[in-house]
């Protein structure tokens, strides 16, 4: 019973950490889309570009934040499965970029490591939560 509770709390903590990370970028995008693009040295030059960054990083990010909070409270394994996909596909997109366009800069390399580690953490916590649940059911 105690292991089950520890696995659940660790999973919830990781979901919350991920949700807050996404929320911070979302709020930055809503308030100042250019600040998000400054991270990768891209200049927004028209209102459609500002709107798109607000929509993708702001709106989608806020949707992800709310969804993760719901999963954190209602279904930790689904939240962890979702995060393993999210962080894994972020990392995959950077690997594809490296193969297609060439080496990443310092920002991209740093985030490739972070996203890969977060994907692995999500997978390990998902495994721990499922194992704890299976032990409890047996």
Q: Which domain holds residue 129?
A: 2-137
Sign of CA dihedral 37, 40, 42, 43: positive
Per-residue pLDDT of the chain (138 residues; tens, 9 = 90+): 687 899 999 999 999 999 999 999 999 999 999 999 999 999 999 999 999 999 999 999 999 999 999 999 999 999 999 999 999 999 999 999 999 999 999 999 999 999 999 999 999 999 999 998 887 665
Q: How far apart (Å, rounded) are the C-alpha atoms in residues 88 and 67?
A: 18
pLDDT score of 3: 79
Q: How many folded domains does the chain comprise? A: 1
Q: Find all residues with CB under 8 Å of 81, minimum gap 6, and list them.
A: 122, 126
pLDDT score of 133: 81
């Amino acid at each position: 019973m105690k292991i089950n509770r520890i696995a659940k709390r660790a999973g919830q903590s990781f979901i919350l950490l991920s949700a807050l990370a996404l929320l911070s970028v979302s709020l930055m995008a809503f308030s100042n889309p250019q600040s998000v693009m400054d991270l990768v040295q891209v200049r927004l030059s028209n209102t459609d570009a500002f709107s798109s960054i607000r929509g993708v990083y702001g709106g989608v990010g806020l949707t992800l934040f709310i969804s993760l909070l719901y999963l954190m409270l209602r279904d930790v394994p689904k939240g962890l499965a979702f995060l393993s996909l999210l962080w894994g596909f972020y990392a995959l997109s950077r690997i594809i970029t490296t193969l297609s366009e060439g080496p990443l800069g310092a920002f991209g390399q740093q985030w490739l490591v972070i996203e890969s580690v977060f994907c692995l953490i999500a997978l390990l916590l998902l495994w721990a939560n499922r194992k704890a649940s299976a032990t409890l059911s047996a």
